[in-house]
Amino acid sequence: MRFSATLVFLSCVGLLAGCANPRFLVVGQSTIADVRARMGTPTDTRVDRNGDQLWDYATGPEGFETHRVRIGADGKVKEVTQPLTEDQFARVVPGTMTKSDVRELLGPPSDETTYGAGLTWSWRFKRIGVQPGYMVVSFNPDGTVKDKIVIIDPSGDAPMD
């Protein structure tokens, strides 16, 4: 019995250690090597208009968060943010923003689907940090945002695939 309890404890510790956790990063001090050691390989990387590196750590498709680490030219962390918020989603502007603009704002989508009406991206998130839902953006054929909507999961449960 004691062996199985120890095994369960060590398994839990191993799982927690494997999770990308940005709370150990220190803005202005942590380096690229620190980010890789603490967070692992990012799910998406790119360079923004200012020359900063943006490293996204998405927990999708079933996760609710994306941790974004901004790294400056000096190789140090400038900020760590959560782009999947309603405030960020409110910044998506139909008719003017492109797929590239949306990706820079929200990170890589957790789902990408093409319907008869066109391309649709979605991200899982938690409204007010509690209620599961989806942020959905549809695109025009020219790649500009056609529409956006927030869909709240009324059951509060994650999908059962």
Q: Which whole number is the average pLDDT over 20-35?
A: 89
What count of other Cβ atoms lies within 10 Å of the Cβ of residue 11?
10
Residue 127 has a pLDDT of 87
Q: List, for residues 83-119, the tens digit of each pLDDT value.
A: 999 999 999 999 999 999 999 999 989 999 998 888 9
The pLDDT of residue 14 is above 60: no
Report pLDDT for 2.
56
What's the pLDDT score for residue 156? 63
Global pTM value: 0.75
Q: Is 136 helix (H, G, I), strand (E, B) or coil?
A: strand
Q: Per-residue DSSP letters for 47-112? A: E-TTS-EEEEEE-TTT-S-EEEEEE-TTSBEEEEE---SHHHHHT--TTT-BHHHHHHHH-S-SEE
Q: What is the CA radius of gyration of the chain?
A: 18
How far apart are the C-alpha atoms of 59 and 66, rounded to whole Å?
6
List pLDDT tens digits, range 35-61: 999 999 999 999 988 999 999 998 877
Query: What value does the mean pLDDT of the chain take?
Result: 85
In the block, tokens 């990063």 appear at 25
Query: How would residue 9 be classed by pLDDT, with cut points 50, 70 and 90?
Result: very low
Which secondary structure element, helix H or strand E, spans residue 7, and what is its range? helix 2-18
Torsion angles phi and psi, residue 58, rounded to 5: -85, 140
